[in-house]
Chains A and B, each alone.
Chain A
Amino acid sequence: MTLSTTATPASPKPRPGRFDSDLPQFWIAVAILVAMGIIPAVLGSSYWEHSFQLMNIYIAVTILQNFLFVDAGQKSFGQGVLLGLGAYGFAVASGINDLPVFVGVLTGIVVAVAGGLLFALPALRVQGFHLGFVTLSAAVVFPQLLLQMDSVTQGLNGISMPTPGLSKPLVLGISPLSILCTLLPIAALAFHYGIRNSRLGRQMRTAAESPEAARSLGINPGHMSSLAFILAALGTGICGVLFVPAVSFVTPQSFLMDVSFIFFFSVVVGGRGQLLGPILGILAVFTIPNMLLVDLAEYKPLIYGFITLIVVIVFPDGIVGTIEEARRKRNQTGGGERAFHLSALTNWLNSLPDHAASETREPIISLKGATKRFGSVVAVDRVDLELRPGEIHGLVGANGSGKTSLLNVLNGFSRMNEGSYTFDKRDVSRASAADIARHGLGRTFQNPRIFPAFSVWNNVRVGLDARQSELPKELRAVLDSMRDDYASGLPTLLSHGQRRLLEVVRVALKDSRVVLFDEPAAGLSAEEREEFSSLIWLLSRKLGTTIVLVEHDLDLVWSIADRITVLETGKRIAQGSPEDLAKDPAVQHLFVGGDHAHA
């Protein structure tokens, strides 16, 4: 089989705008924070100095909430609790019990992380609104406990802990406290920017956007959300420690539920996921209402409740997000054929020598007596399946015959009720999907999992992130050119066919020894089908990847598969080469009305 080179050649094209504005937003945010830290001190306004110190701490907490909310997909209504735990841990240790400051600081952080575990542990098992209720519940309980445990916390009286040393001007009238309070949100921002552009950050985001896709890439979504909660708790605990010198005393009043609401609502109003969002969010939700309603404090919840409701309904992207969306629309270029093509990759694959034929080698996958039931329905009924390394194996059958259920057993989404499953000499009958994926299995989905939050290149890159083996040098060069082409590409401009091909590239870069394709040709044009089958042919013949192809397009299957298994009502009714099966009377009815029988 040869490759039709329909792809466009590389030609100079107008440089499109950045995919996102994270970096400019980062620097604007730093400039604002530095200005807020320095100007009041230089002007000698101690009122504004104190106000900005507290505001900066709130901004830092909100930045961490922004990370948790968007990058890790976790909605928490309880970040104020973690702030309070950090503050009380420090104040109780050093303010009441006179422990050295560094012990107190450590206590505050440890206590906050322990509180974070209360959120992180359920996150291992459940997602979404469940954690919303857990965190909200914690926000309700926390002030009650502070009052109740007055032998430790001094109850309603709170703990007074002045730190005059920190407030003495150091340089230009700026106190060490102001410097710390300025560095804190900058550090939080640097953390957010850094983790977002790291492998871990991309994996967290993948898990947040599509837990299934994450598991098929070897990521355990529970671990990701749990880790995100702990990281956010750690940072919020540090904010809590700094809260003590900034305010000089802590009382349960400082950590009522409203505080948690302010952090959550600020993320939404500022613009979910935007680096600059928390600063403008805190300004809109906390600072400005505070200034305007000094004498009408009881109106504050009403104001921020309404601001948030209006933002969610009228411009859900928030302040910064709305501007960013407009910029993206203006800079939107590309699309069409250029948005994603494969020539670089297929050229490289074509240049490789053929992978050694593998007829005689042991099966890489061996499934015996696999049975999967859903209630009284037997979706997969005692199926045996052996796959040889490098073969293209078609899986066909009518709708409801159990093809997708079998795929889900193979990649670990469903656990078999009975049967054994060996993958590359290892028993994976009870293994999780993420485990099996790390062992070398990849899959695609009926609806391609393309993440709009990532550029086209980063969408490809999550496959690379999941790769376990060394990258060949020639492939590295191919990827460099892909990065140059797609680093600013908008995935929303990709056609359905391009999304499919992108998913194939992603799973190929993951270096999977077995790849499962779930109805890959559905919705592809004739040309795209051609491109797709060339690609999987190359994967099988050049890289020795085993391919399992679930597909309704029997022409495609018969033209490319080495062997085919036919399923009916969950049972395997036939297996063999395309030529043999075409003559098999048991399979004839599949072709009724078609002209495939002579294939």
Chain B
Amino acid sequence: MLNEMFANFDMIMTILLRGAAVGSLFAIIAMSFNVVHNATGILNFAQGTIFMLGAFGAYLLANRVGFAVWIPMLILVSIVIGLFTAAQGWLTLKPLRSGVEQNSWLISTMSVSVIIAAILTLNFGVFGNMVRGPVPRFEILGVRTDGAFLLAIGSMFAWYFALRWFLRRTFSGLAISALSQDFDAARAAGLNVGRLQLLAFGISGVIAGSVGFMVAPMISVSPDAGLRYVLNGFVAAVVGGIGNNTGTLIGGPLVGITAALTAFYIGGAYQDLASLLLLVAILMFLPQGLFGRAAARKV
């Protein structure tokens, strides 16, 4: 009886830990959404495949290596993906400058996502690849845990505080915050809006790419998996209130744990369905999210 309870406790801990770890990835995607959204008002549908690019970076350059190789490669991959995302941002924002065309971003970011996934499929096939990272397994509360799990949760907090510092303490960060408040006023104040928006895209790429690289050992590294992360990341952003980074700290793990519980009790194939239903429910009943605020209407 007692043994059974302990077995259950182990299992519940495993589910919660796994859910929280996967959920912190969703939170990170949500934060990278927010950076771009606050600076430009758009959401980058390619964010999930960009995250996957980071994971493929680890697969190609840092599989089964020690820290001495892993860390420089992490930095290299993050920078390259950051530059790539900034370039994508430039391409996405180009038609928006005309003023007439305000919906094209949805199509162009989606087609970039399709293109990245197609190129990855052509080179690596559709199946998942395994990556072994340098962080060892360890025991927490008697549960054997993959080191990448802790990296995932750790990087969620690390990026959260780094973004908070950047947005509040640096000139560029404050300028990006100003963009999210009032676009025209920021432009009138002499800020170089275009440059700041590219910077926001670049930062979102660095965030998604670096975390994709670090957590490659705990995920299935496959071209199609990117969509799963972009969708769940969006659900996490909506739960926390779009644009609100603090909200993602709750939204991400909530979505992750919901998915883990669904996988355990109903079946792994129903995880994405659970996220979809959670999204629909939130949009129906709490469209501003848990922490969103009602804005004064502009007419």
Binds A, one of B7-15, B200-208, B274-282: B274-282
Beta-carbon contact of A140 and B228 below 8 Å: yes
Contacts of B261-299 to chain A: CB distance below 8 A: 267, 269-270, 272-273, 275-276, 279-280, 283-284, 287, 296-297, 299
Closest beta carbon of chain A to B259's beta carbon, Å: 12
Asked if A288 lies at the interface with its beta carbon under 8 angstroms from chain B, I say no
Within residues 115 to 129 of chain B, which ones have a CB less than 8 A from any CB in chain A? 115, 117-119, 121-122
Chain A residue, CB-CB nearest to B119 = A302
Chain A residues closer than 8 Å to B42, beta-carbon distance: 129
The reply to whether A316 and B106 contact each other, CB–CB distance below 8 Å, is: no
Is A268's CB within 8 Å of the partner chain B? yes
Determine whether the beta carbon of A129 is less than 8 Å from that of B43: yes
Q: Give the Cβ gap from B67 to chain A, nearest Cβ, in Å.
A: 36
User: CB within 8 A of A122: which of B106, B108, B280, B296?
Assistant: B280
- Nearest Cβ distance between residue A439 and chain B, in whole angstroms? 20
With a CB–CB cut-off of 8 A, which chain A residues contact B280?
Answer: 118, 121-122, 134
Contact A308:B107 (CB < 8 A) given known A137-B279, A302-B115: yes
Min Cβ gap A310→B in Å is 9
Which of B231, B234, B299 has its CB near the most chain A CB atoms (within 10 A)? B299
Q: On chain B, which size bracket covers the interface?
A: 35 or more
Q: Which of B108, B117, B276 contacts A134 (CB 8 A)?
A: B276
Please pick, from A145, A147, A446, the residue contacting B273 in the complex, using a CB distance under 8 A.
A145
- Of B95, B227, B267, which is within 8 A of A140 by CB? B227
Q: In this assembly, does A212 line the interface, its C-beta being within 8 Å of a C-beta of chain B?
A: yes
* Contact-size category for A: 35 or more
Given contacts A125-B284, A212-B299, contact A308 B111 (CB under 8 A): yes
Contacts of A446 in B (CB 8 A): 299
Evaluate contact between B231 and A137: CB separation under 8 angstroms. Answer: yes
CB pair A141–B273 under 8 Å, yes or no, is: yes
Instruction: Tell me how far the C-beta of B4 lies from the nearest C-beta in chain A, rounded to whole angstroms.
Output: 30
Contacts of A145 in B (CB 8 A): 269, 273
Q: Quick one: given A147-B269, A316-B95, are A301 and B283 in contact (CB under 8 Å)? A: no
- With A130-B283, A298-B122, A302-B119 known to touch, is A140 a contact of B114 (CB < 8 Å)? no
Give the chain A neighbours of B270 by CB distance below 8 A: 148
Residue B164 lies at the interface, judged by CB distance under 8 Å to chain A = no
Q: Are B283 and A126 in contact (CB under 8 A)?
A: yes
Distance in Å: Cβ of B265 to nearest Cβ of chain A? 14
* A contact patch SS: helix
Question: Is A268 touching B107 in the complex (CB atoms < 8 A)?
Answer: yes
B181 to A: closest C-beta gap in Å: 14
Inter-subunit contact B297/A299 (CB<8 Å): no
Asked if A136 meets B231 with Cβ closer than 8 Å, knowing A122-B280, A145-B269, the reply is: yes
User: What residue in chain B is nearest A373 (Cβ atoms)?
Assistant: B296
Complex formed: what's the CA distance from A304 to B107 in Å? 12
Q: Which of B45, B111, B267, B284 makes the CB contact (< 8 A) with A312?
A: B111
Contact flags A306-348 to B (C-beta < 8 A → 1, else 0): 1011001100100000000000000000000000000000000
Q: Find the B residue at minimum CB distance from A118.
A: B280
Known: A301-B117, A301-B121, A312-B104. A134 touches B227 (CB 8 A): no
B111, B283, B297 — most chain A CB neighbours (10 Å):
B111
- Chain A residues, Cβ within 8 Å of B62: none
Docked complex: A555-590 residues within 8 A CB-CB of B: none
Chain A contacts with B in 48-81, Cβ cutoff 8 A: 75, 77
Q: A133-B279, A408-B297, A408-B299 are in contact. Are A305 and B287 (CB under 8 A)?
A: no
- Nearest-CB residue, chain A, relative to B286: A125
Taking the complex as formed, is A486 at the interface, i.e. its CB lies under 8 A from any CB of chain B? no
A75 contact set on B, CB distance < 8 A: 103, 106
Of residues 209 through 252 on chain A, the ones whose CB sits less than 8 Å from some CB of chain B are: 212
**Distance (Å) between the CB of B119 and the closest chain A CB?**
7
- Kindly state whether residue A138 has any CB partner on chain B within 8 Å: yes
B174 at the interface (CB under 8 A from A): no
**Chain A residues packing against B (C-beta within 8 Å):** 75, 77, 118, 121-122, 124-126, 129-130, 132-134, 136-138, 140-141, 144-145, 147-148, 212, 257, 261, 264-265, 268, 298-299, 301-302, 304-306, 308-309, 312-313, 316, 374, 379, 404, 408, 413-414, 445-446, 518
Shortest Cβ-Cβ A-B pairs, 10 listed:
A305-B114, A302-B118, A305-B115, A301-B118, A122-B283, A308-B111, A148-B269, A309-B111, A137-B276, A374-B296
